[in-house]
Structure 1
Amino acid sequence: MESTALITDLYELTMTQSYLEHGKTGKAVFSLFVRRLPENRNFLVACGLETLMKSLENFKFGDRELKYLKSLGIFKDWFLDYLRELELDLEFYALEEGTIFFQNEPILQVEGSLPKAQLIETLVINLIHFETLIASKAVRNYIAAKGKTLVDFGLRRAHSPMAGLLSARACYIGGFNGTSNLQAGMLYGIPVFGTMAHSYIMVFDQEEEAFRAFAKSFPDRVFLLIDTYNTVEGAKKALKLLKEGIKVLGVRIDSGDIPELCREVRRIFDQEGFKDVKILVSGGVDEYDIERWVSEGVPIDAFGVGTKLLTSADAPYLDIAYKLVEYEGKPKFKESPGKKTFPYKRQVWRFLKDGKFDYDKVSRFQEGGLVKRVSFPLPSLKEIRERVLEQINQLPEELKSLRKKVEYRVEVDE
């Protein structure tokens, strides 16, 4: 695989060279945490740890990387030799993937020689930040859907193919049933879903002809897109196929007045006895739409969620930081206004009341809390997903809200 060593910022390497020059190679602890939750987030979901661990396996400086660094005229030959022989013999302490967490709680802590722990800062922030952002958005959709099927349709609008791939993983962890992304299906074993595009319908002279052609090609996967021209008329054509014995599993509506159209389409199928035909809705859907339609009883069986999910449109970034908290056993912390940090490696303790989250406490590290030393093998994607869903059941109702009603109490031992 391609080396990940240069997925970093220049200053990580300049600092590392200077550390070595001045003998600053003692044991350090860095902590990754979110200072403040976004305005419309009551909690976040830790995600991306496995992706990070696999990326660090390829954090190696080979000939190509070293040749480039030498060409910059910044680094000394002895430092480039150090990078060539670099081994990341670091220890990692983390919240298990799929753990719900809050502000000022350590998601990941890296312990080891200062230069090595510094070098990986950018990669750590990048990968954990992104998947945590998307998993946290996905969970909101899951809560709003109240058990209805959710499919990630966002690959084409993701900010890169890699973002689409990692998003599919994060969405599945966050409660989605599957993805349209075939690479994610292959690499992660996530169930894959898909129907057809409007171009497929338009290439045939008649909409019904397109429906019949697809049914002939995929008789066991007949899911028809019915809003290319007129949604109600499209539903009637799908009904015609059903009456002929063609097994139409469902229809997709991608535009228009969704509540009104879904009710009419449902009526068309139900009055003829085809109550098992599913209705899937897509097209700019987000958790706010899902919450509204579900609460209004709109007859929708599944949601294809894309653009606003894979870009986390309403909260596109987290106030996340990777800070030195301990060096050679001494506490290290910032007192900058608005950017205060807390010293030492830390543990998170969660307290429940009547089976629901009550409050968390963050204190100096000792075994037994939510933060655990990372060991292999890491849990499966299914196990991570189950952890998320189990913890959702432990959330008080006010924390499940899509709007911020309360701020969960996190006591930080300073």
Structure 2
Amino acid sequence: MPLPSSPEQPQPLGRVIAAAAEWVNRLGEIWVEAEVVQIKRYQGATQFLTLRDKNGSVTADGTCSRLVLDQVGPLTDGTTVAARVKPRMWPKSAKFSLEVLELRVVGVGRLLAQLEQLKAKLRAEGLFESHHKRRLPFLPRAIGLVTGEGSAAERDVLATIAARWPDAHVEVRHSLVQGPDAAGQVMQRLAELDRHPGVDVIIIARGGGSLEDLLPFSDEGLVRAVAACRTPVISAIGHEPDTPIVDLVADFRAATPTAAAKAVVPDVSEQRQAVTADLARLRQSLLLRLGRAEADLDSLTTRPVMRDPIASFAVHVDQLAQWRRRLTTTIGRALADESRTVDHQLQRVRSMSPKATLERGYAILVDGEDRSITSVHDIDEGDDLLAYVADGTLILEARGVHEGRVPNQAREGSSGPLEREADHG
């Protein structure tokens, strides 16, 4: 019931707001469709978000628990959701808000959420890792192509390949590229080409489309089939805003079918130019090396040793002759010095020998038993003696023995004692 009021009896503002809040709170829970404009996540249990009507004319702030956001999965701004809400109005601030009790992604948003969940699953398995990507062959023997029959993608790929490398061979396999049966057919054609002994690379091509049209290329079975292929696979779906999952697992992603054809074969004209440039660089390099070799050879031939090979020997011959003269002189001096030393030593030896003593007039006396006589007490008067002199021996008889000092003549060496003794006899 409306509150009675008049200019004379107006209703208090607080009462009017309280009545409005009471009416709003009686609305209960209701499902609404809206677009998520903004999500504010906090550490606490209560989270905040803003919802907007699909036509964009009405927005409302709302709150929800952390559990509600976690259960809905990945949720981004712009996602369309179906929300179970309870409208609320706060009497103190007259502020209207929605208590979000449950969220469900609907429409395209639901599809995107499902695709994000599949991506997260496959990423966790490592299917998107770069080390799984294989290098494309430079010039494949045969190129496999899976595409729609008579499609623009087929024409673009074949025309581009023919223009770039006319001798290239393409194995074409037609398949559905849209609808519920498309993923299965693409998988079959992919398996056929993967078993083909001459196919070195496979292109899966489609000329773009809406998110719903491209769903077969995000099919989990097809994605896993591409990852399991022994042959390198190029994904050329041609849809930039929303990347199909097969793009992430393929060995090479091309933005368009034409780009895929450019990646799979080289441009023959560019290769000719490259070969021509390489030949020119090789020829120039060879000419430079030959020029340097000729210059080195000229430098060698102009050296004196090359003009007169034996000229250097003359210098060495002169040096050798000089060294021979020095060596001969040195050896002669050394021999002379050694000869003088030998003569000196020989003279010393001779001067110390008994023969030299005998030559100076001395004699050696021995008795009948050939024992040396060194004292007068060694003989008796009448003993026969033998005297060794320089030129022979003397047989003597001792007529007397005199003990005393040596005569002066013996000390001075004028005559030996044996000579004096012989005179006395």
TM over 0.5: no
**Higher RCO structure (Cα 8 Å, ≥6 apart):** 1
Rg comparison, structure with higher value: 2
TM class by smaller structure: under 0.3
The two structures have a TM-score, normalised by structure 2, of 0.24
